[in-house]
Structure 1
Amino acid sequence: MPTRPVRSGRTNVVVVGDSPTARGIRNRLRASGADSTTGESGADPVRFAGARAVVLVGHTGDFARVTSRRAAERRGELVAGLEQDLADAAAAGVEHVVAISSAMVNGAEPDRPVINDDEPRQPVVDDSYAGDLLTFEATIERVASTLADVLVTVLRPAVLVGPDIDTLMTRHFEAPRVLTIRGARRGWQFAHVEDVADAVGVVVAAGLTGHLTLGALRDGEPDVLEPEEVTTIAGMRGIDLPAASAFGTAERLHRVGVLPAPASDMSYAVYPWTVSASILHDAGWSPSWSSEACLRALLAQIRGRVGVAGRRVGGRDAAALGAAGAAVALLGTAAIWKQARGRR
């Protein structure tokens, strides 16, 4: 629920890190920046000196870096860095911590209802990117609960897009075809990083706390593109597969190293996870970007790239995998499975 805003002479917002998401928020807000940490030193009261709010970015939009390391390594570094960031914020007397997560933490499934603010997270136990975001949120809540007089807000955007933002969701549109699951309809709602930055501004100004969703809206309601609209705008054809075939093949290909993300992450590309953004909307936040505008910007950004269920390919890889992908969205084909077996 909204809380009474904290008033002070501080106006500075500091955005931590240099990921695509952090840069997008920083540029929009014309905010200060701070380097990420590895959590190897004591609390530093100087690092965030003079800041009213600190923005911590869990949903970095840097998919290549995420998939280049094992989950345990990623999460260990994430926890240590967050503990350091929050200790430094407390030492500097920061009033508000805003964390950028994703509505992925609420899960995606067939016929999923719209995700409302403050919905509980769904547990993830594998090495998925959603699991990283769960770790991010849980760590912030654990440490922040020990800090007095610090407001904490977690923002959970829909599918994030913007300059240089690279995620499993954006790579879904690099595939030769849009994958759909037989019997399931997946509407697409996007959130532009500029609108995320504007939401940060509203949150800090109004003193909002809790877990707040955000995404493109139309007349205050979720702005969702139907599957037919998506394929028409993207100029792509769809490929419809049974759930067991798609997820089973994806998991096998992940185990042998062909696909960078586990099959559980694929659910976010084929099942809905639309958000309400109701608290932000009621507080006066109004997104500038529609879902269609977000999709068109995404398509312009990825033009010329070829992706394989999250794995970006080129050259020989494109020749070996692209034709098969055009047939069945690069899942369940004999050509790819033969290549996967050869890597064992």
Structure 2
Amino acid sequence: MSSPASPQRRAVRSRRTAVDVAVVGAGDPASRAVLRALVTAAAHGEIGRVVAVDVDRPPVGGVEFRLADPGDPHLVDALRGVHSAAYVAASTDLAADLVLGARVRRERNLRRAQTVITAAAAAGVRHLVVVTGAQVYGAQPGNPVPLDEDAPLQAPSDEGQVGDLMDVEQLIAVARDVHPGLAITAVRPAALVGEGVDTVTTRHFEAPRLLTVRGAASAWQFCHVDDLGSSVVVVLARGLGPVVTVGSEGHLGQSDLERLTGMRRVELSMGAALGTADRLHRVGVLPAPASDLAFVAFPWVVSSRTLREQGWAPAYDNETCLGVLLDTIRGSHAVAARRLDRKDAALGAASAAVALVGTAAIMRRRRRKGGTL
């Protein structure tokens, strides 16, 4: 799937008055960061009212709270009277997603995204920002660094979380034709970091070693949730679209990761890594599909070009983001996104490769003893 072929203006409206903005679903770290940034912008007159729409009141002051379930059609009532809205479709709570399971998670995420789009159009919202992720571009050996915003979307549409985002992007593409009065901007951040963020990417750094793929040149780029928040403010205040990418400037290489984390690498061939991960995923040991290994091996760096043309700049560089990530995962242990307790992590022994195989043995032993995963 690729971006819409027909050219669209970068600005979807002229900025004449401060707009009232609703943030739909305000309980996750990324949405709270968007709310905080909007409240700050409202204090400076760049944004009008800031409305939080969710089933629980968020811990952010200076917002008007409206009670509504983001997945319920009655959401339309909570969106009336606002010019613009923002919705974070990217998940930052992997633990909760794993409890749901892949099928239920996919159905919930698509239902929410479809409900938000339909309700926004029905309520007369003029501009909707949907936060997905730069992962939708796919991680490919031949990817340019950085990728252009209008680069084709080449990520696999499998059962993983990236597949969820690919489906949301498809919903956006269809909605642009179905609801011509609603301008929709897809904001695609690099790997998110921040307090409370739990993703496959953050768990990569909970492993005993950094898994690398022989012959691959990885490129790591991050986006702090606060930078995501400030970027959404710029998109909403200046009506940017239809696609905006956001991330820290540049990227880190594998040697940079090892220097900054103090972790050592373990190197496998792509065939060995994919084969092991695929087998363990099929038996339910590893939560992420084998295709996610591509995001460790190959680049998917974005440029933030449109935002920079508007004078925006990230407050966090990649090194600082990595430090934030390491602080948030302190004390946690994982192998290929499967969280382990300390005893299991110790059994991971010499390397991530050994840990992958060791995890399978641990889980088989637990099943024989009647335990749960």
TM-score normalised per structure 2: 0.83
Offset at residue 173 of structure 1 (A): 0.7
Q: Does 1:141 align with 2:173?
A: yes
Q: Which residue of 2 aligns with 1:94?
A: 125
Q: Kindly tell me: are residues 163 and 327 of structure 1, through their superposed partners in 2, closer, same or farther at Cα, counting changes over 3 Å?
A: same
Q: Structure 1 residue 194 and structure 2 residue 202: aligned?
A: no
Which residue number in structure 2 is paired with residue 288 of structure 1?
315
> Structure 1 residues 38, 288: CA separation in 2 closer, same or farther (over 3 Å shift)?
closer
The answer on 1:62 being equivalent to 2:87 is no
1:63-90 alpha-carbon deviations (Å, 9 max, x no partner): 1122223333222222222222222212
For 1:1-344, list aligned pairs within 5 A. 1-3=9-11, 5-7=13-15, 9=17, 11-17=19-25, 18-30=27-39, 31-35=50-54, 37=69, 39-41=71-73, 44=76, 46-114=77-145, 115-122=147-154, 124-217=156-249, 223-314=250-341, 318-333=342-357, 335-342=358-365, 343=367
Q: Distance in 2 between matches of 1:299 and 1:332?
A: 21
Q: What is the DSSP-based 3-state SS (H/G/I as helix, E as strand, rest coil) of the residue aligned with 2:83?
A: strand
- After alignment, is 14-23 or 250-259 more displaced? 14-23
Shift of 1:54: 0.8
Deviation at 1:330, TM superposition (A): 4.9
Structure 1 gap segments, 5+ residues each: 218-222
Residues 1:59 and 1:43: Cα distance change in structure 2 (over 3 Å) = closer
State how far apart, in whole Å, the 1-side matches of 2:218 and 2:117 are.
Answer: 37
Note the residue ranges of structure 2 that are not aligned, 5 or more in a row: 1-8, 40-49, 55-67, 369-373
The answer to whether the 8 Å contact 2:110/2:164 transfers is no
Q: Which amino acid aligns with 1:14?
A: A
Taking structure 1 as reference, are residues 7 and 215 closer, same or farther at Cα in structure 2, changes over 3 Å only? Answer: closer
Residue 29 to residue 87, structure 1, CA distance change in 2 (3 Å): same
- For residues 185 and 83 of structure 1, the distance between their equivalents in structure 2, rounded to whole angstroms, comes to 37
SS at match of 1:145: helix
* Structure-2 change in CA distance of 1:183 and 1:145 (3 Å): same
Counterpart residue type for residue 33 of structure 1: A
Q: Contact between 1:308 and 1:325, CA under 8 Å: does it hold in 2?
A: no
Distance verdict in 2 for CA 1:165–1:330, change over 3 Å? farther
Q: Which moved more, 1:140-149 or 1:244-253?
A: 140-149
Q: Which whole-Å deviations, capped at 9, do the CAs of 1:213-257 have from their partners, x for residues lacking one?
A: 11112xxxxx21121111111111111111111111011111111
Per-residue deviation at 1:111? 4.3
Aligned length: 334
Aligned partners of 1:97, 1:330: CA distance in 2, in Å? Answer: 46
1:2–1:49 Cα change, 3 Å: same
Percent pairwise identity: 37
Superposition RMSD in Å: 2.1
Q: Structure 1 138/320 Cα, relative in aligned 2: closer, same or farther at 3 Å? A: same
Match of 2:166, SS state, is helix
CA contact (8 A) 1:129 1:265 kept: no
Query: C-alpha distance in 2, partners of 1:65/1:309?
Result: 17
The alpha carbon displacement at 1:309 in A equals: 1.0
Which amino acid in 1 is paired with 2:178? T
CA separation of 1:181 and 1:156: change in aligned 2, threshold 3 A: same
Do the aligned residues in 2 keep the contact of 1:24 with 1:163 (CA within 8 Å)?
no
Q: CA deviation at 1:62?
A: 1.1
Contact 1:175 1:308 in 2 (8 A): yes
Give 2:3's aligned residue.
none
Q: CA deviation at 1:328?
A: 3.0
Task: For residue 267 of structure 2, give the secondary structure of its aligned residue in structure 1.
Answer: strand
